[in-house]
């Protein structure tokens, strides 16, 4: 079954149930309709969350590794920045259609596309975070006999955590928004409720689906922030 | 202190014709440096900015690789060692201290132990031991560096460098970022620590006063990385090898020498002491034999009371007729510079010197001091010996937390 068909069907379906009939007919903002139909948004919300977590997770793993590699092999920084920046400029709808011949329709092209968009943000933050580690830290670490790897994982990465996670937060926020377009790739998520022509004019739907996207972004941002606080207790230690 | 875990006694450090040419540099940063630091001594590298001090020091732990020549630690070339292993055996203290802000004080101190795979319990015990050694309260172990003052951080930096009791330490301007008052205090503390630990230390500074204070031997370098003179502080002040060194140590080098000696180190004048009621004849006789032609009236504990006047000597027995009080009273353990300052302050040409019980042992005069300034350098003790004798009266630093 084609996804376009599913979207068309669900569009008609959504309007049929409950609420003040005249309000719904006028595409208005109808609290009673929202109350009656809220349950239909849970699945798309969870799908959306899934898309974001998986694509950012994979994207982070790749960009972080590339960042560590380029920190060692400095010459890689320019080409990797160039490539990831170029990929970032591809319009999202085009990206999701371009990936379909390779990966088919569904979550796969959506996740790959979203992961690609996270690259430039995370990669850059990893590189600048590591570059901003004070020289005397690196000097002290080497001078006490750390190997390059020990220095990287015991000193440089921990000190770059705030900047790396700042990148992660931007990546998460961006991905929550972009994931709405993943519906073009045939993936689930709140985008299903936002890209259908007959629904996008329906204020009640836009408020619920759009509001959920915003709330999801805020919740994930808080989650990353909490994670950062957990990882960096030393930053909260106030001068005695 | 429980420092004698015996793992490492100090080792000699020998530079053999060491040259470092940076790529692109027109002249070498260090040029044919040869010198030997005996085990357990502090060698200070001093000289103007850019003369190659840091470069010379960092070649010891191979943070910089030398272009030619060799450096031997305990007779063994550093070239034959794996850099990481070598560095774990060499304490390393830098001007910026370089504590890791994301690690607690205890974890910072345990940096090298953890690289060597020590057990948690052993590292923790060692961290406590070292905090005590450098005079910091144990409660600091779980703090982060941002919660410490500059001076406290510096002490942690030293503790961290001492963690595995390395035979050799490298210190690059370790007190450079500390305000003058605390610097003085940290210097004194460190010298006291060194008197106990006896590490072989290469200490870099651009401050000649610090060099004189800290060094058992001083290597004066000049721009271009050439060694201008390598000598104990007193010899450097006494006999600068070149106009460059003379200029570098400063016009007040005679005064600086005074800071290296204590009153007990020099030949004092003898003086006739007398008590009230003593027969005058004997006192006159002893006064004639003494260096000073005035008698000193003392109490029953031989403590100075004042200089006896002619009238006090006129009768059969000594009468308590003073021409002046015995100001200033100088202590045997006083630094010569401080004693001179006391003499100047009381506008006096001489003053009685007392021992630990306050008993008179001789007289310090301007003349004695000027002879001392001209005396042979071998009579002048090194920094570590000076510090070792310091606990006698704590003259250098009464406020240090590490006392007893
Ligand atoms: N990595 C480097 N590459 C090229 N030249 C260097 C490098 N490090 C130091 N130099 C040069 O080598 C010379 C000696 O430098 P070094 O840092 O050893 O001097 P220094 O005596 O420690 O000076 P300061 O008192 O300013 O710390 C200087 O002329 C410096 O410019
Ligand atoms: Mg230097």
Domains of chain B, start order: 13-251 (3.40.50.300), 263-393 (3.10.580.10)
Residue A105 lies in a domain: yes
Q: B368-395, pLDDT tens digit by residue? A: 888 887 765 445 555 566 555 544 444 3
Q: Residue B118's CB: how many other CB atoms inside 10 A? A: 17
Domain-embedded: residue A161: yes
User: Which of A58-67, B14-23, B299-308 has the least mean pLDDT?
Assistant: B299-308
Question: A147 in a domain, yes or no?
Answer: yes
Residue A30 forms part of a structural domain: no
Is there a domain that residue A22 lies in?
A: no
User: If pLDDT is split at 50, 70 and 90, which confidence band does B7 have?
Assistant: very low
At residue A31, the pLDDT reads: 84
Residues of A in contact with B94 (CB under 8 A): 136, 139-140, 143
Q: What would the mean pLDDT of B83-110 be, rounded to a whole number?
A: 95
pLDDT of residue B100: 97
Predicted local confidence at residue B169, as pLDDT: 97
Q: Domain of A144: which CATH number?
A: 1.10.3720.10
Extract long-range pairs of A79-82: CB within 8 Å, 24+ residues apart. A80/A123, A81/A120, A81/A123, A81/A124, A81/A127
Instruction: Identify whether A146 is part of a domain.
Output: yes
- Average confidence (pLDDT) over B147-167: 95
Q: What confidence score (pLDDT) does residue A5 get? A: 40
Contact yes or no for A115/A63 (Cβ under 8 A) = no
Interfacial residues of B (vs A; Cβ cutoff 8 Å): 61, 63, 83-88, 92, 94, 96-103, 111-112, 115, 143-144, 146-148, 160, 170
Q: In which domain, by residue range, is A89 found?
A: 48-239
Question: What span, in angstroms and rounded, lies between the C-alpha atoms of B403 and B104?
Answer: 26
Q: Is the pLDDT of residue B223 over 80?
A: yes
- Could you tell me if residue A148 is inside a domain? yes
Helix (H, G, I), strand (E, B) or coil at B44: strand
- In this predicted structure, what is the pLDDT of residue B240? 92
Helix axes A77-88, A107-131, angle to 10 degrees: 140
For B382, which DSSP code? P
Which residues from chain B sit within 8 angstroms of residue A236, using beta carbons?
none
Residue B401: what pLDDT?
43
Mean pLDDT, each 10-residue run in order, chain A (240 residues): 43 64 82 83 91 97 97 96 95 92 92 96 97 96 97 97 96 94 87 77 84 94 95 81
Instruction: Specify the number of domains making up chain A.
Output: 1
Report, in angstroms and rounded to the nearest whole number, the Rg of chain A calculated over CA atoms: 22
Closest by Cα among B289, B389, B371, B381 to B332: B389
Q: pTM value?
A: 0.81
Q: Which of B16-30, B45-59, B364-378 has the lowest mean pLDDT?
A: B364-378
Q: Is the pLDDT of residue B184 over 80?
A: yes
Q: Which ligand is nearest to the CA of B45?
A: 1
B86:A239 CB<8 A = no
Mean pLDDT of B126-150: 94
pLDDT at B108 exceeding the cut of 80: yes
Q: Which amino acid residue places its CA nearest to atom 22 of ligand 1?
A: B54
Say if A25 falls within a structural domain.
Answer: no
Better-scored residue on pLDDT, B197 or B4: B197
Per-residue model confidence (pLDDT) at position B389: 55
Helix or strand holding residue B131 (H, E): helix B120-133
- Residue B393 confidence (pLDDT): 41
The encoded tokens of residue A127 equal 């590189």
**Which phi and psi angles does B361 have, rounded to 5°?**
-120, -10
Checking B7-10 for CB contacts under 8 A at 24+ apart, the result is: B7/B164, B7/B165, B8/B89, B8/B165, B8/B166, B8/B167, B9/B39, B9/B167, B10/B39, B10/B40, B10/B167, B10/B168, B10/B198, B10/B199, B10/B200
- Which chain B residue shows the shortest CA-CA distance from A146? B84
The whole-number pLDDT of residue A201 equals 78
- Through-space distance between the first and last CA atoms of chain A, rounded to whole angstroms: 66
Cα separation values, B260 from A155, B253, B263, B284, Å: 42, 11, 10, 37
Residue B391 is classified by DSSP as G
Q: Which residue of B has its CA nearest to A137?
A: B98
Is the bond preceding residue B109 a cis peptide, omega within 30 degrees?
no
Give me the mean pLDDT over the B13-19 stretch: 97
Provide residues with CB under 6 Å of ligand 1: B 22, 25, 29, 47, 49-55, 206
**What element of type H or E holds B353?**
strand B350-354
């Amino acid at each position: 079954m084609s996804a376009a068909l599913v979207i068309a069907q669900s569009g008609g379906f959504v309007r049929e149930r409950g609420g003040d009939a005249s309000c719904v007919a006028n595409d208005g903002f109808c609290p009673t309709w929202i109350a009656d139909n809220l349950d239909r948004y849970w699945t798309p919300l969870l799908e959306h969350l899934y898309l974001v977590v998986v694509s950012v997770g994979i994207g982070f793993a790749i960009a972080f590794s590339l960042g560590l590699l380029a920190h060692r092999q400095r010459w890689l920084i320019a080409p990797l920045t160039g490539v990831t920046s170029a990929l970032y400029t591809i319009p999202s709808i085009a990206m999701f259609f371009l990936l379909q011949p390779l990966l088919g329709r569904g979550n796969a092209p959506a996740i790959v596309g979203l992961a690609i968009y996270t690259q430039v943000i995370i990669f850059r933050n990893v590189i600048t975070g590591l570059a901003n580690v004070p020289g005397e830290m690196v000097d002290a670490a080497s001078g006490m006999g750390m190997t390059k790897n020990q220095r990287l994982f015991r000193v440089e990465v921990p000190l770059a955590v705030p900047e790396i996670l700042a990148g992660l937060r931007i990546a998460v926020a961006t991905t929550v928004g972009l994931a709405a377009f993943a519906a073009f790739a045939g993936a689930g998520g709140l985008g299903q409720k936002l890209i259908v022509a007959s629904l996008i004019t329906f204020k009640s739907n836009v408020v619920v689906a759009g509001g959920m996207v915003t709330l999801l972004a805020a919740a994930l941002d808080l989650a990353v922030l909490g994670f950062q606080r957990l990882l960096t207790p030393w930053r909260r230690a106030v001068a005695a | 202190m429980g420092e004698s875990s015996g793992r490492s006694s100090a080792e000699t450090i020998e530079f053999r014709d060491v040259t470092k040419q940076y790529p692109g540099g027109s002249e070498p940063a260090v040029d044919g440096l040869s010198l030997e630091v005996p085990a357990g001594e502090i060698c200070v590298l001093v000289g103007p900015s850019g003369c190659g001090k840091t470069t010379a020091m960092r070649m010891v732990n191979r943070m910089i690789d030398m272009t030619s020549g060799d450096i031997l630690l305990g007779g063994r070339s550093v070239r034959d060692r794996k850099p990481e292993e070598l560095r774990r055996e060499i304490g390393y203290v830098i001007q910026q201290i370089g504590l890791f802000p994301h690690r607690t004080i205890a974890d910072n101190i345990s940096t090298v132990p953890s690289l060597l795979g020590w057990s948690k319990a052993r590292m923790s015990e060692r961290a406590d031991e070292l905090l005590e050694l450098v005079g910091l309260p144990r409660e600091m172990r779980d703090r982060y560096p941002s919660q410490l003052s500059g001076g406290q951080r510096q002490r942690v930096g030293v503790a961290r460098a001492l963690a595995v009791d390395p035979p050799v330490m490298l210190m690059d301007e370790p007190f450079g970022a500390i305000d003058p008052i605390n610097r003085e205090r940290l210097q004194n503390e460190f010298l006291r620590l060194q008197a106990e630990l006896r590490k072989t230390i290469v200490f870099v500074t651009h401050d000649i006063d610090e060099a004189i204070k800290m060094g058992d031997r001083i290597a004066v370098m000049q721009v271009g990385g050439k060694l201008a003179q390598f000598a104990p502080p007193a010899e450097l002040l006494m006999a600068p090898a070149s106009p460059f060194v003379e200029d570098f140590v400063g016009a007040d080098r005679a005064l600086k020498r005074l800071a290296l000696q204590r009153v007990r180190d020099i030949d004092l004048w003898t003086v006739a002491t007398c008590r009230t009621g003593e027969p005058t004849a004997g006192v006159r006789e002893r006064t004639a034999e003494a260096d000073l032609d005035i008698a000193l009236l003392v109490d029953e504990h031989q403590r100075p009371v004042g200089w006896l006047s002619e009238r006090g000597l006129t009768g059969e027995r000594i009468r308590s007729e003073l021409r002046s009080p015995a100001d200033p009273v100088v202590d045997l353990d006083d630094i010569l510079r401080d004693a001179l300052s006391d003499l100047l302050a009381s506008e006096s040409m001489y003053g009685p010197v007392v021992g630990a019980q306050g008993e008179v042992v001789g007289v310090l005069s301007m003349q004695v001091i000027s002879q001392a300034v001209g005396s042979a350098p071998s009579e002048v003790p090194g920094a570590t010996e000076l510090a070792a004798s310091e606990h006698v009266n704590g003259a250098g630093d009464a406020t240090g937390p590490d006392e007893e």
